Amino acid sequence: MRHQMLSMRTVMMTAVVVLAFGAGWMARTSAQQRASAPRITLFSHDKVDATFAQALASTGTTDLFARKDRQGRTWAIHANSRGKADEGTLHSHEDWTGVVVIMSGAATLIEGGESHRVSRGDVAIIPPNAPHMYRNIEEPFRYLVIQTP
Q: In angstroms, rounded to a whole number, what is the distance separating the alpha carbons of residues 16 and 21?
A: 8
- Per-residue pLDDT, 64: 94
Q: Which CATH number fits domain 45-148: 2.60.120.10, 2.102.10.10, 1.10.287.990, 3.40.50.300?
A: 2.60.120.10
Parse the chain into domains and list their residue ranges: 1-37, 45-148
Instruction: Name residues of the chain where pLDDT drops below 50.
Output: 5-6, 11, 14-21, 25, 29-32
- Per-residue pLDDT, 99: 97
**E strands present in the chain:** 61-68, 74-82, 97-111, 114-119, 123-126, 132-148
CA–CA distances in Å: residue 99 to residues 6, 79, 118, 146: 71, 12, 13, 5
- Per-residue pLDDT, 112: 84
- Per-residue pLDDT, 38: 79
- Per-residue pLDDT, 4: 52
Report helix, strand or coil for 77.
strand
pLDDT tens per residue across span 63-73: 999 999 999 99
